[in-house]
Amino acid sequence: MDTPEKEKTAKELTPTEAINVIIQEAFLAGASDIHIEPLKDKVRIRFRINGDIIDTQTISTEKASLIFNSLKVMANLPYQTSELPEDGHFSADFLNSENKYENVDIRLSVFPTINGSAVVLRILNRAEILLSMKDLGMSNDDLIKLKRLSMRGYGMILINGPVGSGKTTTMYSIILELSQHDNKKNIITLEDPIEYNFEFIRQSQIKSEIGFTFAEGMKAILRQDPDVIMIGEIRDPETAAYAVGAALSGRSVFSTIHANSAIGTLARLVDLKIERGLICYVLNGTIAQRLVKKICPACKQDDTPPLEFIHMLGLENERVNYKKGAGCPKCKNTGFIGRTGIFEILEFNDEIRSAIIEKNPISEIISIARKSGFKTLLEDAVNKIREGETTVEEVIKIVL
Ligand SMILES: [Zn+2]
């Protein structure tokens, strides 16, 4: 989209106007991040939309440096050039798809590279990040499990998945559900970053640079008489210990953790020095999740995926009505519109707890879980192929 016309418009705008035009365009396109990347003799601007990075335009190094300086002013960063990574934030009003102004928080991260400062603007406070549980893309069985897990009133739920897999949206859907159904609860969050501002919830932004870490936050939160605590991420033994302590004392705790599967979370907790028996005692359940792109309904058509791919998914003995998007103006010729979640939910019961304590192999824990409807991420994703919601290629890319 590097048209001469765009180049001309960019020249006439002041740096602040140019930033606003870029952010407005990204916001309307549904981008989560804007990347401003210095190359050898020009600067490339790219948007991350639905998980993929898309080129939008390139600008001259001179223009980019004016834009960069204005961004620093907007985010209250020191004006002088720094050799160190920096981050800041600002907010401004942008038009949404309904042509109404929406206040948008932008988090700015500056990273020094050999070609100059690379900037990533993360667009926060988007209405899309807030979904009710029923809109997450869960099967009915999983939806019932998630509701049951989150309404339990005590204990811990841990969610895992790579960056950008929708974990925050799942946690926010739990908060939304709890705050709608029970306003007698005191809900407090520790987040980094806060991606959506709830009206009636106390949300707190982690500031590691001044010593306000997840662990420090947990220590303080327990003195705030909480019923429900959401922790952005558990990544160190101290935070893990506080979180387990809070769950043991009758609070509901939910958080994300770095692991590859619902069961992988157990090994991660052992890594974080939580004793096996304690894990079984406090955990209500673990959830693994990913996001897959949804086929555009306007150009959906039959698909004949390569046999090799069908074998990879174990679908060779099944008749499946495969679908794909042909590409149309509505989906900007990508064949996809939006994304949906795929899930693996391990709900703990006594049988699973004793299997874990007895250090039974994972395969055995899975077969016990299957008795109450457990399915793996891949099985959930394959269901989405059967339902014509996503493509074989997308599932192979995201889940395998
Ligand atoms: Zn389409």
Numbered ranges of CATH 3.40.50.300 in the chain? 128-398
| β-strand pairing of 155-160 with 116-124 | unpaired
Q: pLDDT value at position 156?
A: 96
Residue 137 scores a pLDDT above 80: yes
Question: Whose CA is closest to 259, among 284, 280, 286, 241?
Answer: 286
Helices 167-181 and 140-151 cross at an angle (nearest 10°) of 60
Residues flanking ion ligand 1, Cβ below 5 Å: 296, 298-299, 325, 328, 330-331
Question: Whose CA is closest to 91, among 70, 75, 68?
Answer: 75
Q: How far is the CA of 301 from the centre of ligand 1 (A)?
A: 10
Q: pLDDT value at position 9?
A: 52
Q: How far is the CA of 381 from the centre of ligand 1 (A)?
A: 21
Q: pLDDT value at position 1?
A: 46
Query: Residue 375: what are its φ and ψ, rounded to 5°?
Result: -135, 150
What's the mean pLDDT when you consider all of the chain? 91
What are the tokens at 217? 């936050």
Say which DSSP state 212 is in: B
Helix, strand, or coil here: 158?
strand
Are the C-beta atoms of residues 331 and 296 closer than 8 Å to each other? yes
Q: How far is the CA of 295 from the centre of ligand 1 (A)?
A: 8
Q: How far is the CA of 97 from the centre of ligand 1 (A)?
A: 18
239-264 per-position pLDDT tens digit: 999 999 999 999 999 999 999 888 88
Are the C-beta atoms of residues 292 and 339 closer than 8 Å to each other? yes
Sign of the alpha-carbon torsion through 204, 154, 367, 144: negative
Q: How far is the CA of 186 from the centre of ligand 1 (A)?
A: 44
| Residues forming a β-bridge with 86 | 110
322-366 per-position pLDDT tens digit: 999 999 999 889 999 999 999 999 999 999 999 998 988 989 999
Query: Residue 36: what are its φ and ψ, rounded to 5°?
Result: -115, 105
* C-alpha–C-alpha distance, residues 336 and 294, integer Å: 5
Q: How far is the CA of 332 from the centre of ligand 1 (A)?
A: 7
Q: How far is the CA of 296 from the centre of ligand 1 (A)?
A: 5
* C-alpha–C-alpha distance, residues 35 and 118, integer Å: 8
Q: Please give the residue that has the higher pLDDT: either 46 or 80.
A: 46
The residue-averaged pLDDT of 81-87 equals: 82
Is omega for the bond preceding 193 within 30 degrees of 0, making it cis?
yes
Q: How far is the CA of 357 from the centre of ligand 1 (A)?
A: 50
Helix, strand, or coil here: 231?
strand
Q: Where are the alpha helices (DSSP H) in 204-295?
A: 214-221, 237-248, 264-271, 276-282
Q: How far is the CA of 91 from the centre of ligand 1 (A)?
A: 33
Q: How far is the CA of 390 from the centre of ligand 1 (A)?
A: 13
Q: How far is the CA of 378 from the centre of ligand 1 (A)?
A: 25
Q: How far is the CA of 321 from the centre of ligand 1 (A)?
A: 18
Look at 80-89, 234-243, 287-296 and tell me which has the smallest mean pLDDT: 80-89
The residue-averaged pLDDT of 200-207 equals: 92
* C-alpha–C-alpha distance, residues 381 and 391, integer Å: 10
Q: How far is the CA of 304 from the centre of ligand 1 (A)?
A: 18
Sign of the alpha-carbon torsion through 396, 127, 58, 7: positive
The domain at 128-398 falls in which architecture? 3-Layer(aba) Sandwich (3.40)
Q: How far is the CA of 52 from the centre of ligand 1 (A)?
A: 17
4-125 topology per CATH: Beta-Lactamase (3.30.450)
Numbered ranges of CATH 3.30.450.90 in the chain? 4-125
Q: How far is the CA of 157 from the centre of ligand 1 (A)?
A: 37
Q: How far is the CA of 108 from the centre of ligand 1 (A)?
A: 33
Look up the pTM and report it.
0.86
379-398 per-position pLDDT tens digit: 999 999 999 999 999 999 99
Q: How far is the CA of 215 from the centre of ligand 1 (A)?
A: 46
Q: How far is the CA of 227 from the centre of ligand 1 (A)?
A: 45
DSSP of 82-104: -SS-EEEEEEEEEE-TTS-EEEE
Q: How far is the CA of 335 from the centre of ligand 1 (A)?
A: 5
Are the C-beta atoms of residues 69 and 15 closer than 8 Å to each other? yes
Look at 18-32, 169-183, 339-353 and tell me which has the smallest mean pLDDT: 169-183
Residue with tokens 């769950």: 247
| Residues forming a β-bridge with 102 | 94
